[in-house]
Amino acid sequence: MATNTRPLSPHLQIYKPQLTSVLSILHRATGVFLTIGALLLAYWLVAAASGPEAFEHAQGIIGSMLGQLLLFLWTLALFYHFCNGIRHLCWDAGYGLDIESVYRSGRHVIWVPVVLTLICWIIAT
């Protein structure tokens, strides 16, 4: 059938990236990334329940360069998913759906997570 070869919409390769679409895909990407973080949170808690040696080992992994880098990225991803998630809940409630508000809230969910992440890491270190 000729119709089967027609391009499907949304056809991502030919779409110009926009703030709205980029933030939307970022919400998914951070969600998947945070799920991996949840698995490590489970490991950390199991280690804490297993005894001092297992906990020391887990703390060692988290304290390493790679562990700290991942933890920083997880903080950033968490705050982004958190802020953008609230943005989504507002939309679900029917607020802020006009184009102007969508772009305004979109700009906010870019800088707020960065500031919150920096505040957390300044307090923690």
Partner 1 sequence: MSLRTPLARVRGLGSAKEGVAHWWAQRVTAVALVPLTLWFVISLLFMTHADHETLQAWIAQPIVTTLLVAFLFSLFYHAILGMQVVIEDYVHQEGTKFVSLLVMKFLLILLGGSAIIAVLRIAFGG
13 binds partner 1 (CB under 8 A): no
- Residue among 34 and 110 whose Cβ is closer to partner 1: 34
The residue type at 117: T
The contacts of residue 84 (CB under 8 Å, 6+ apart) are 23, 26, 27, 30, 109
Structure-token pair, residue 22: 């980029």
What track of x and - describes contact with partner 1 for positions 44 through 83 (by CB under 8 A)? -xx-xxx-x--xx------------------x--x---x-
Structure tokens at 7: 């391009």
In three-state secondary structure terms, 25 is helix
**Which residue lies nearer to partner 1 by CB, 39 or 99?**
39
Q: Measured from the CB atom, is 65 or 99 closer to partner 1?
A: 65
Residues 6 or more apart whose Cβ sits within 8 Å of residue 121: 72, 75
Q: Which residues bind partner 1 (CB under 8 A)?
A: 28, 31-32, 34-35, 38-39, 41-43, 45-46, 48-50, 52, 55-56, 75, 78, 82, 85-86, 88-89, 92, 120, 123-125
